[in-house]
Amino acid sequence: MFVFFLSIVHLTLSQDPTASLIFSDCKHLILPPLCQCYHSGDQSQLRCHNIQLESIPKLPNNMRWNALDFSVNHIKSIDSYVFSDIYVEKLNLKLNHLQTVDTTAFNQIKNVKQLYIDHNTLKEFDPKTLTSPGVSLEIFDISHNPLEYLDLGETFLQLTVLQEFYAVSCQLNNTSLFTLSKLTQRHDYVKIIDLSYNNLTSLCNNLFNNFYNLIEIRLNNNNIHLIDHSFIRSLEYIRNLNLAFNSIEYVPNLYSSSLENLNLSSNNIQYLNDYFGSHLRSIRIIDFDSNKYLSSVSPRSLCFINILTLKKLSFRFTNIVLLNAFSELLCRLVDNNNRESILDLNHNTNLKCDCMLVQFEKYLINYFDLSCIQQGQDRYFISKRTNEFSYCTRDFCQNRKRENLCDWTNAEQLMLEGTCQGKLNEKENSTKNETTFINITTITLNVSDIIIQNSTVLYNQTLKSFALSIKTVDYICFFVSLSLLYIRHSIGIFIK
Ligand SMILES: *[C@@H]1O[C@H](CO)[C@@H](O)[C@H](O)[C@H]1NC(C)=O
Ligand SMILES: *[C@@H]1O[C@H](CO)[C@@H](O)[C@H](O)[C@H]1NC(C)=O
Ligand SMILES: *[C@@H]1O[C@H](CO)[C@@H](O)[C@H](O)[C@H]1NC(C)=O
Ligand SMILES: *[C@@H]1O[C@H](CO)[C@@H](O)[C@H](O)[C@H]1NC(C)=O
Ligand SMILES: *[C@@H]1O[C@H](CO)[C@@H](O)[C@H](O)[C@H]1NC(C)=O
Ligand SMILES: *[C@@H]1O[C@H](CO)[C@@H](O)[C@H](O)[C@H]1NC(C)=O
Ligand SMILES: *[C@@H]1O[C@H](CO)[C@@H](O)[C@H](O)[C@H]1NC(C)=O
Ligand SMILES: *[C@@H]1O[C@H](CO)[C@@H](O)[C@H](O)[C@H]1NC(C)=O
Ligand SMILES: *[C@@H]1O[C@H](CO)[C@@H](O)[C@H](O)[C@H]1NC(C)=O
């Protein structure tokens, strides 16, 4: 146990009578052993980094610290009032052995704006700990703690000016997420929410709707499989949504006029449905990489996607067989005289060599690395087989049947549906049957519109498996919604 005797060297008092008794220069202080003080301008930092501290040393209370760094030590708890009268903007306790944070730990702390308690061993954290008026966090990082449960709603209620929130890898499940439903007012400052590497399973009930100014949501590496179409609909400034490494089978038709980067890589997506991209008006990059069963893309899936903003559609390591499903998009690029390559089809082991690949060469990213199969199993770099494709005509877009493929009315209707059926706010409709989904499939698979006959077989196959998987999703949704109702009901009682 370390014991620190601290005292403040008497300072020559400032001549300025208006100066308060708060000092910002740490040079004259006697500091805990092994801690170092850095002073520049009117900013002082105390660094007690990696010095085997077992507890937080007592600090002089008339100092104005810019940062206190206690990272990489063996501190086990943050005790009551330990920061009493300490003025500090950035408090770093990451990579310690924290097991408890007393609910009065930050009482009478002054002006703390950034708190890092990530990489500890906290099993619980009470958001009431953040109630103190001296706590006005803009950044809060509680990542890498085995919490299992965190009242996220209460945390945001306490932190009214929070901008960045990180709870990465805390084993949170959707019970924690559901606490966001207690938020009823706008939380205008929040810009980033990072809940990646948790155990979340569903993104229903528009739980993020009160974060009007959110720019980025990181939800990668969870087990998410249910998502509302309206998930980010009311977020006017959302730019980045990361849903990589989840269990998404059915891609929601997201609605956003601001979203730029949508990451759906490493999920279980098999099918890309009609009008998937129709309401992504500012989209730049969509990443579908490593959805290894993604074999079928509706020819309407990219209808109305904004080609003026689109920079990259990535389908690496998927199971795309033919390019024709992208023809609606590709021909729009041709019409628009677009010069950039946007579609990445590399590492699709069943991609067939055909004339379309050659015709749309300039829109394919890394065309020179693109390989395809011909006559069964032989793989070729298509760029090296120019002779064989010399017979290919390049008038695909002129010849195809173009009218009637994309229908805005249908695109709008699809917006009403999501994978979270029977949402809380539609109690009476929560037992919705499958009719809506079947309708979607019939629209999707209007075979008469499929452009190249050879692909019809593909669509026919997916029709069956798609319908099946949708059925399952619907039943799951039904049960999830029932339990949601129950939970909501109990919470209601609890509040009363
Ligand atoms: C979610 O986590 C809480 C807290 O650990 C636990 O009580 C609950 O059973 C978990 N729910 C699910 C669906 O795993
Ligand atoms: C969360 O998920 C991980 C990996 O899927 C699993 O090992 C862990 O047991 C889960 N934790 C809880 C609390 O469900
Ligand atoms: C998508 O997310 C994965 C995992 O987080 C990452 O490796 C990949 O680079 C991301 N894709 C894009 C386009 O940012
Ligand atoms: C249920 O659905 C019908 C028609 O789809 C709609 O008119 C009604 O308002 C819905 N009920 C609720 C409670 O949302
Ligand atoms: C589904 O519900 C609609 C009305 O919402 C009803 O007309 C139809 O018969 C139902 N279908 C099945 C298979 O239950
Ligand atoms: C499907 O094709 C048929 C025949 O061409 C057409 O009458 C119908 O309107 C199409 N349906 C949709 C939703 O496009
Ligand atoms: C379909 O593919 C076969 C060989 O796989 C080819 O002989 C036939 O001409 C193709 N049909 C069309 C309409 O492209
Ligand atoms: C699609 O499947 C239906 C029955 O499932 C069959 O009648 C039809 O001929 C198939 N179409 C093609 C192009 O294989
Ligand atoms: C959370 O997900 C689990 C498993 O998917 C489900 O059983 C539970 O009802 C969900 N709870 C909430 C509040 O969404």
The residue ranges of every structural domain in the chain are: 14-320, 418-495
Q: Which atom of ligand 8 is nearest to the CA of 460?
A: 1
Mutate to test the pocket of ligand 6, among 406, 448, 451, 456 (most ligand atoms within 8 A of CB): 448
For ligand 7, whether the C-beta of 20 sits within 6 Å is no
The contacts of residue 195 (CB under 8 Å, 6+ apart) are 167, 168, 172, 177, 217, 218, 219, 222
Residue of 274, 300, 404 best suited for mutating to test ligand 6, as the one with most atoms within 8 Å of CB: 404
How many A from CA of 79 to the centre of ligand 2?
30
Nearest CA to ligand 7 atom 14: 454
* Ligand 5 center from residue 434 Cα (angstroms): 8
> Is ligand 8 within 6 A of the CB of residue 463?
no
Query: Which residues does ligand 5 sit against, CB inside 6 Å?
Result: 433, 435
H or E element at residue 492:
helix 456-495
- Rounded to two decimals, the pTM is 0.74
Instruction: Return the biggest CA–CA distance within the chain.
Output: 91
Q: Would you tell me how many other CB atoms lie within 10 Å of the CB of residue 223?
A: 15
The string of DSSP codes covering 212-257 is TT--EEE--SS---EE-TTTTTT-TT--EEE--SS---B-----BS
Ligand 5 atom 2: residue of nearest CA: 433
User: What is the secondary structure of 270-338 as a DSSP string?
Assistant: -EE-TTTTTTBTT--EEE-TT-TT--EE-TTTTTT--TTT--EEE-TTS----GGGGHHHHHHHHHTT-
Cβ atoms of 136 and 111 within 8 Å: the answer is yes
Q: Is the CB of 487 under 6 A from ligand 9?
A: yes
Give residues with Cβ within 8 angstroms of 61, minimum separation 6.
84, 85, 86
Specify the pLDDT at position 27.
67
The one-letter amino acid at 264: L
156-195 pLDDT, tens digit per residue, is 999 999 999 999 999 999 999 999 999 988 899 999 999 9
* Coil, helix or strand at residue 424: helix
**281-335 residue pLDDT tens:** 999 999 999 999 999 898 889 999 999 999 999 999 999 999 988 989 999 999 8
Q: Which atom of ligand 5 is nearest to the CA of 433?
A: 1
Give me ligand 7 centre to Cα 454, in Å.
6
72 Cβ contact list (under 8 Å, min separation 6): 49, 50, 94, 95, 96
Q: Nearest Cα to 300, choosing from 434, 419, 451, 418?
A: 451
Higher pLDDT, residue 88 or 454: 88
Flag the least confident range among 2-11, 13-22, 156-165: 2-11
Query: Nearest bound ligand to CA 480?
Result: 9
- The alpha carbon of 176 and the centre of ligand 2 are apart by a number of angstroms equal to 14
The mean pLDDT of the chain is 80
Is residue 312 within 8 Å of residue 365, measured between CB atoms?
Answer: yes
How far is residue 205's CA from residue 188's CA, in Å, rounded to a whole number?
20
Going by C-beta distance under 8 Å and a sequence separation of 6 or more, which residues neighbour residue 494? none
For 69-110, what is each residue's pLDDT tens digit?
999 999 999 999 999 888 999 999 999 999 999 999 999 999
Q: 14-320, superfamily in CATH?
A: Ribonuclease Inhibitor (3.80.10.10)
With b for 16 or more beta-carbon neighbours within 10 A and e for fewer, the 475-496 pattern comes to: ebbeebbeebeeebeeeeeeee
Please state the rounded mean pLDDT for residues 263-276: 92
What's the gap in Å between 201 CA and the centre of ligand 9? 7
What spacing in Å lies between the alpha carbon of 444 and ligand 4's midpoint?
Answer: 25
Which residue's CA is minimally distant from atom 3 of ligand 7? Answer: 454
- As a residue count, the chain comes to 496
Contact indicator for 117, 98 with CB cutoff of 8 Å: yes
